Amino acid sequence: MQNTSKDSEGGLVLPTVIPVSVRMVIIQVLIAIFLYVNSLMIFTFFKKAAFFTKTRYIFFAHTLVCDSIFLALTDALLVMSFSKVTMTGGLCIFVVVILGNLTVATPLTLTAMSLERYVAICMPLRHSELSTPMRAMYSILLIQALSSVIRVIMISILSSAVSLRFYTNPLICSVDRLIVFPWQGDLNSALSQLYFLVMSLIIAFTYVKIMGAARAASSERKTSTNKGLRTVILHGFQLLLCLIQLWCPLIESTVMKINLNLFIELRYFDYICFFLAPRCLSPLVYGLRDRDFMVVLKYYALFGHSKVFHFNMDKPKLKWRKKITCTPVG
């Protein structure tokens, strides 16, 4: 793509504000920062066995892994598209299936985390029974299964419509290359929006219930209840960004018919706000806001020079005793 182009009538349109090469550098820097933060948090999770016993940390680690793989794969496809590097159709199908799975897995995990907060705040006596590490692992398996439904339908339609040569022919990989019928994209969008509608209703339900618990809570529990309420609000905001992501292709295709440069500007904005931003809020919601996790993260981020970690996590509190001396009589 050049910095200037002609519209459908042959007239010259305005040049893009930022060259494409500069945009690529900005995106690479942002993704490198996000991947570093996510990798540090994943490393922190696996270094402390205490985090394995709490459901919210297990869900948090699953979100970090999904977001990191998503960022790495989308960035690889972006660089390959920018460099006009091709791959075989079979490999493209495999990559698109993984990306489609991760696209849905993150908001599903956010929904599960909101339900966990609802149980912890509104059903505290049953929280230890319902929220166990084993149930969390079963929930993750269910999340992965639900995330794969849309892509399984999409690949089934594709395999019945293309020849075997498609799997070996080189192409520039994108989701659009795997849509062979016009109604296939509409079906994909409808199923995705159905998923997000259900997830939005669940998060709204947990928000209403936690808000009611916050009003009725005593002064001792009000702090933790309000914190859980803020967490659910942030999850709802993340889900909203993910939902807008589904509408981006439709809006972009309409804008591309009107003005190519405006399409380039819009696609760059959409990728930053609705693809990268939702994946970068998870560390803020459950990583930097969690005191216990932040203590351990600070220790490893500072290469073991955090004294707070030694005092709170590794070493027991020292009890000083007054030294008693006996003076002999006589």
Q: Tens digit of pLDDT for each residue in 140-179?
A: 999 999 999 888 888 888 888 888 888 888 888 877 777 8
- 107-130 tens-digit pLDDT: 899 889 888 888 888 888 888 888
Angle at the Cα of 60 (from 59 to 64), degrees rounded to 5? 115
- Under DSSP, is residue 6 helix (H, G, I), strand (E, B) or coil? strand
Residue 314: the pLDDT is: 43
| 88 strand-pairing partners | 170
Q: Which residue has the higher pLDDT, 110 or 322?
A: 110
pLDDT-derived band of residue 255, with 50, 70 and 90 as boundaries? Answer: confident
Does the pTM of the predicted model rise above 0.95?
no
- 256-284 tens-digit pLDDT: 778 877 877 888 888 888 888 777 776 66
Q: What are phi and psi of 12, to 5 degrees?
A: -80, 130
Instruction: Specify the DSSP element, H or E, that contains 170.
Output: strand 170-171
Pair of tokens at residue 197: 């509608």
Pair of tokens at residue 237: 């905001």
* Spatial contact of 314 and 304, defined as CB atoms under 8 Å apart: no
Pair of tokens at residue 94: 């495999």
User: How far is the first Cα of the chain from the last one, in angstroms, to the nearest whole number?
Assistant: 101
Query: Residue for token digits 């509608």?
Result: 197
Residue 57: the pLDDT is: 87
Pair of tokens at residue 52: 């394995």
| CB neighbour list of residue 64: distance below 8 Å, 6 or more residues apart | 38, 41, 42, 45, 282, 283
Q: Give Cα separations from 287 to 40, 45, 57 (angstroms).
A: 11, 10, 9
Please, what are the domains in the chain?
A: 20-289 (1.20.1070.10)
Query: Residue for token digits 């016009």?
Result: 182
* Spatial contact of 121 and 198, defined as CB atoms under 8 Å apart: no
Query: Residue for token digits 């509104």?
Result: 122
Question: Over 80: is that where the pLDDT of 308 sits?
Answer: no
Q: What are phi and psi of 171, to 5 degrees?
A: -155, 160
- Under DSSP, is residue 319 helix (H, G, I), strand (E, B) or coil? coil
Instruction: Specify the DSSP element, H or E, that contains 96.
Output: helix 89-122
Rounded-to-integer distance, Cα 63 and Cα 278, Å: 11
Task: Count, in order, helices (H) and strands (E) of the chain.
Answer: 11, 2
Query: Which is it for the CA torsion 70, 141, 191, 286, positive or negative?
Result: negative
